[in-house]
Amino acid sequence: MRRSPEAARENILAAAEAILVEHGPQALKLADVAKAAGVVHANVIHHFGSISGVETALMERMIRALADTVITGFNTGGAAPGFGAQALFEAFEAKGAARLAAWLELTGESRRMTLVRDVVDEVIQTRVAQDVGVDRDAIVDFILLNIILAVGTGLFGPTLSELLGRPPERARELALEMVQGRISALGSKG
């Protein structure tokens, strides 16, 4: 059965994400992604141009899914303070987004990540800015802080925690405490 172009791309990206989570970004090879997706490598090239295109599209897909989760949480009104940070840390730790983001930076491909600005703008346009009463620059800085902490925690948190004799989740706990403190500080300004 022939898939639509969107379904074919999604199938390839799902296969790439499974490889990323299990083996890391260095394992994202054209032939391996094609095999995992059950397609020929020419199909991957047709949809993404190269393995770099797959990596960029995968990162954008992960960012989009994260933003959708956060925006939905804010729009339903049931999101506790720090909900967005929890979702961000989960994506960057468990789903391999931190490793992929670092890989894209180290290989010079991060400049292709133009979706990040659009997604940050979408998050800001939700109730966050209106409810908190904080200016846009403060929210952008807060999002930047969250991303930096999530990437660092996703890359090094468990390892550094254990090297310092702490449980593997301690770095994440400390980072989230810092985020909660910043949420409180922003809330008191509103």
Whether 33 and 61 map to the same domain: the answer is no
The pLDDT-based confidence of 54 (bands split at 50, 70, 90) is: very high
Between residues 118 and 160, the one the model is more confident about: 160
Whether 98 and 126 map to the same domain: the answer is yes
Check: pTM over 0.85? Answer yes or no: no
Instruction: Identify the pLDDT of residue 82.
Output: 78
Instruction: Identify the pLDDT of residue 158.
Output: 94
Instruction: Identify the pLDDT of residue 162.
Output: 97
Average pLDDT over residues 23-31: 94
Whether 92 and 117 map to the same domain: the answer is yes
Whether 179 and 116 map to the same domain: the answer is yes
The pLDDT-based confidence of 189 (bands split at 50, 70, 90) is: low
Q: Which long-range contacts (CB under 8 A, 24 or more apart) does 15-22 make?
A: 16/54, 16/55, 16/58, 17/58, 17/61, 17/62, 17/95, 17/96, 20/58, 20/95, 20/96, 20/99, 20/100, 21/94, 21/95, 21/96
Range of the domain at 20: 1-49
Instruction: Identify the pLDDT of residue 104.
Output: 87
For the ranges 121-130, 135-144, 152-161, the lowest mean pLDDT is seen at: 121-130
Residue 152 token pair: 């660092």
Between residues 72 and 75, the one the model is more confident about: 72
Between residues 146 and 112, the one the model is more confident about: 146
Whether 13 and 76 map to the same domain: the answer is no
pLDDT in tens, 74-121: 777 666 777 888 888 988 888 788 998 898 889 888 887 788 888 888
Whether 41 and 68 map to the same domain: the answer is no
- Per the structure, the count of domains in the chain is 2
How does the average pLDDT of the chain come out, rounded?
Answer: 87
The pLDDT-based confidence of 41 (bands split at 50, 70, 90) is: very high
Start-end of H helices in the chain: 5-23, 30-37, 41-48, 51-76, 83-93, 97-106, 115-125, 127-132, 136-163, 170-189
Whether 112 and 82 map to the same domain: the answer is yes
